[in-house]
Amino acid sequence: MRLDKFLKVSRIIKRRSVAKDIADQGRIDINGKVAKSSSNVSIGDELTINFGNKTLVVKIDNIKDTTKKNEAEDLYTVIEEKYQEDYRI
């Protein structure tokens, strides 16, 4: 499955167009390698997603074409969630 579609179906990112933009900016890694929105993901892959002040690391547990809202979290496991602190003076 394409990376942008997985991010939308799993509801990690709510819109596929936003997932595509983030991936094409080089802010998502699959197993340590920079990914594009068209990159394929599979079960067992580890995604590192860099949002503005948050980094999310997840492992893909399952892949489905569609899910209900309450089933979306079953598609992945959160390994790490880091927030960067704001050091403005």
Which pTM value belongs to this model? 0.88
Q: Provide the residue range defining the domain that includes 73.
A: 3-83
Query: What total of structural domains would you count in the chain?
Result: 1
What CA–CA distances, in Å, run from 40 to 2, 73, 82?
A: 5, 20, 25
Residue 16: give its domain's CATH number.
3.10.290.10
Residue 25 has pLDDT above 80, yes or no: yes
Query: Does residue 89 lie within any of the structural domains?
Result: no
Per-residue pLDDT at 88 = 56
Residue 28 lies in a domain: yes
Q: Pick 44 or 87 by higher pLDDT.
A: 44
Q: How far apart are CA 23 and CA 50, in angstroms?
A: 9
DSSP 73: G
Flag whether 88 is in a domain: no
